[in-house]
Amino acid sequence: MQIRARTRSASAACSGCGSVSERVHSRYERRLSDTASAGREVLIRLTVRRLFCDNADCAKTTFAEQVPGLAARYARRTTVLERVLCAVGLALGGRAGARLTWHLAASVSRMTLVRMVRAQSDPDRPTPRVLGVDDFALRRGHRFGVSPPQNDRAGSMHHHNLAGCRPTPIRKARCSRPPQWYRLPLWSPRSSPDRAAP
């Protein structure tokens, strides 16, 4: 399904300086993919005007008008479709999300979904008041390290005030004596008590 559209306003504001202009330089067509309608893929063919900027101090001689809320600059998909594809990529990932978009009549490749997910900004998280500490071994029995958790869920489990504590740096350590079970003799047919003497 194709939709042909154009703007109805006589003037547009320059994206560089914000001055309003009505002098048209040229026109061109943008092709924007939109969410499906009745199971059909929707393509918006938007006619965009390029206008002259009358401000002498502006660095731009001409500028293209933008439709706020419809699509971002240089985008090939509408804002609504971008949000839908980002939600699919965050929920399912690359391959499974690409298979689902085929049923949504907005098929994209798996790498497109991965790029869209990576382009998203990290969510703002509050600073945790309480930090838990997790020990891990870089090499079993030889090197150990300490790392704080990546989220603040540990704050609901511990009620101690650890604000004055300093993080422990990674240190080297060697076991002075192996555990007792390391020194147990291995079983063999000769050492078995059930083996009858010849």
Are 29 and 45 in contact, with CB atoms under 8 Å apart? yes
Are 89 and 114 in contact, with CB atoms under 8 Å apart? yes
- Residue 128 tokens read as 């945790």
Are 11 and 21 in contact, with CB atoms under 8 Å apart? yes
Give me the pLDDT at residue 146, please. Answer: 59
Are 99 and 88 in contact, with CB atoms under 8 Å apart? no
Radius of gyration of the chain from its Cα atoms, rounded to whole angstroms: 32
- Using the CB atoms, write b or e for 178-197: b if 16+ within 10 Å: eeeeeeeeeeeeeeeeeeee
Taking CA 166 as the corner, what is the angle to CA 128 and CA 132, rounded to the nearest 5 degrees? 40
Sequence-ordered list of residues with C-beta below 8 angstroms from that of 113, at least 6 positions apart, any chain: 85, 88, 89, 93, 94, 97, 98, 101
Give me the pLDDT at residue 100, please. Answer: 92
Are 47 and 65 in contact, with CB atoms under 8 Å apart? no
Give me the pLDDT at residue 185, please. Answer: 54
Which residue matches tokens 């971002």? Answer: 72
Question: pLDDT tens digits for the chain (198 residues)?
Answer: 999 999 888 888 888 888 888 888 999 999 999 999 888 899 999 999 999 988 888 888 898 888 888 988 888 999 999 999 999 999 988 899 999 998 888 889 999 999 999 988 877 778 767 666 666 666 666 666 655 555 544 444 333 333 444 444 444 445 455 555 445 455 555 555 555 554
Other beta carbons within 10 Å of 115: 13
Give me the pLDDT at residue 170, please. Answer: 46
Give me the pLDDT at residue 57, please. Answer: 86
Give me the pLDDT at residue 88, please. Answer: 93
Which residue matches tokens 């008590």? Answer: 193
User: Cα torsion for 20, 22, 24, 29, to the nearest 10°?
Assistant: 70
